[in-house]
Amino acid sequence: MAIDLTGGLPPERDYFFGQKPGPEIRDAANIWLEEENGAFAMRIGVEALAETWDAHEYWLDICYPDGRVISGRETTTSHPAIGPEGKPTILGTGPLEFRCIAPFKHWRVTFSPHAVTELTARQLIEDVYPAQPPLRNVAFEIDYYPVVPPLISGTLTEDSRQIMSGEQGSFISPRFEQLCRAEGFLEIDGVRRTFKANVLRIKRQGVRKFEGFWGHCWQSALFPSGRAFGINVFPPRADGKPSFNEGFIYDGNGVLKPARAVEMPWLRKLHEKGEHVPLVLETADGLVRIDGTTFINCRSRSTASGSGTVLPATWPVVQQAHATYNWDGETATGMIERSTFRHEMEL
């Protein structure tokens, strides 16, 4: 069966804004990357906000199972959006640039040689950092190729469509995510390594609200056979109303099969690695059980000063992590991001 890697979206949906959008509108690209054997993982992103359009924020985390986290947050001069083909295919700032080579087929992210601070997972957990942390000179070039149809948030079920159209949809913002295969090089202090990896790419365009957000659990992985899963769930609400709960499983061809979570590993304590993160998804064909264990966990750092993003004082504790998942005997590296109110955690 032919695979529609566009999910029915037009090619233009994979481009960026060619000029400054209206108030409060964001343009964002980011990826989660796990080296196929778990040797390292990366989170890379650019966030462009209309109110600070000439200076975008980028963030970069390169993390290793031994606890090292090369972590950068900067707001720098933005790059022109129009690429050599005359279309808005570029979102970049400072040393980092995302480029759409062919919509829904081929993307590239590059990082010109640049000094980035090195921290540790323990320092991130404790939220205490050295006054002058070590600096590492970082460069990379990564090509990634979608292989699974995109999950367009709020489209897989009637329940998710209804919830996406309300307040909870404003936390997510108009977006889609898509699993990819990747290859490239990563250079640290002049030492270059080539690699192959799994990538989850996320593309958001629109208004995103932060006030009122109370937490989530988001997991995804692509397996060697081509099977895949993805799920994003908000915790049960205090008022008893439905929470956003949307996911899929994919058998390697055809379309995404809708799924919803019935068991999730909610964030309750910050770990450096080795945390058990299993999940159970319900589909029309029955339950799917997937086991997982993190190989590196990173508490999220606050965004760069001047980015235009102001988080509420009650913003939950957020942790991004990378895990090895097992699904019926097949293993793969993938991502997990969770957030929980501080008073509901063991800190």
The residues pairing with 187 across neighbouring beta strands, listed in sequence order, are 139, 192
Say which residue the tokens 């799924």 belong to. Answer: 259
Separation CA 274–CA 323 (nearest Å): 9
Q: pLDDT > 70: what percent of the chain?
A: 97
pLDDT for residue 173: 87
Q: What's the confidence (pLDDT) of residue 303?
A: 56
How long, in residues, is the chain? 347
| Residue 147: count of CB within 10 angstroms of its CB | 18
Gap between the Cα atoms of 232 and 173, Å rounded: 13
Amino acid identity for residue 100 in this structure: C
**pLDDT band, very low/low/confident/very high, at 305 (cuts 50, 70, 90):** very low
167 phi, psi to nearest 5 deg: -60, -40
Sign of torsion over alpha carbons 204, 58, 318, 64: positive
pLDDT reading at 92 higher than 60: yes
Average pLDDT, the chain: 94
User: What percent of the chain shows pLDDT beyond 90?
Assistant: 86
Calculate mean pLDDT across residues 92-110. 98
Q: How confident is the model at residue 314 (pLDDT cuts 50, 70, 90)?
A: confident
Query: pTM to 2 decimals?
Result: 0.96
User: Is the pLDDT score of 2 beyond 80?
Assistant: no
Contact criterion met (CB below 8 Å) for 301 and 319: no
Query: Which pLDDT score, from 0 to 100, does residue 321 have?
Result: 98
Average pLDDT over residues 20-25: 95
For residue 33, pLDDT beyond 80: yes
Where do the structural domains in the chain lie, given as residue ranges?
A: 16-344
Per-residue model confidence (pLDDT) at position 166 = 84
CA distance linking residue 198 with residue 182, whole number of Å: 6
Backbone φ/ψ region at 86: left (φ over 0), alpha (ψ -120 to 50), beta? left
Confidence (pLDDT) at 1: 59
Cα–Cα dist 89/99, whole Å: 6
Q: In whole angstroms, what is the distance from residue 52 CA to residue 77 CA? A: 10
118/71 Cα distance (integer angstroms): 6
Dihedral angle, C-alpha 202, 207, 210, 214, nearest 10 °: -60
pLDDT, tens digit (0-9, with 9 covering 90-100), for 188-220: 999 999 999 999 999 999 998 888 899 999 999
Could you read off the pLDDT of 247-292 as tens digits, one per residue? 999 999 889 999 999 999 999 999 999 999 999 999 999 999 999 9
> What confidence tens digit (pLDDT) does each residue in 106-165 have?
999 999 999 999 999 999 999 999 999 999 999 999 999 999 999 999 999 999 999 888
C-alpha 129/C-alpha 133 separation (Å) is 7
Partnered with residue 97 across adjacent β-strands are: 92, 110
Whether the pLDDT of residue 308 is over 70: the answer is no
Q: What HEC string does the chain produce?
A: CCCCCCCCCCHHHHCCCCCCCCCCEEEEEEEEEEECCCCCEEEEEEEEEHHHCCEEEEEEEEECCCCEEEEEEEEEEECCCECCCCCECEEEECCEEEEEEECCCEEEEEEEEEEEEEEEHHHHHHCCCCCCCCEEEEEEEEEEEECCCCEECCCCCHHHHHHHCCHHHHHHCCEEEEEEEEEEEEEECCEEEEEEEEEEEEEEEEECCCCCCCEEEEEEEECCCCCEEEEEECCCCCCCCCCCEEEEEECCCCCCEEEEEEECCCCCECCCCCCECCEEEEECCEEEEEEEEEEEEEECCCCCCCCCCCCCCCCCEEEEEEEEEEECCEEEEEEEEEEECHHHCEC
The fold of the 16-344 domain, in CATH, is AttH-like fold (2.40.370)
Confidence of residue 315 (pLDDT cuts 50, 70, 90): confident
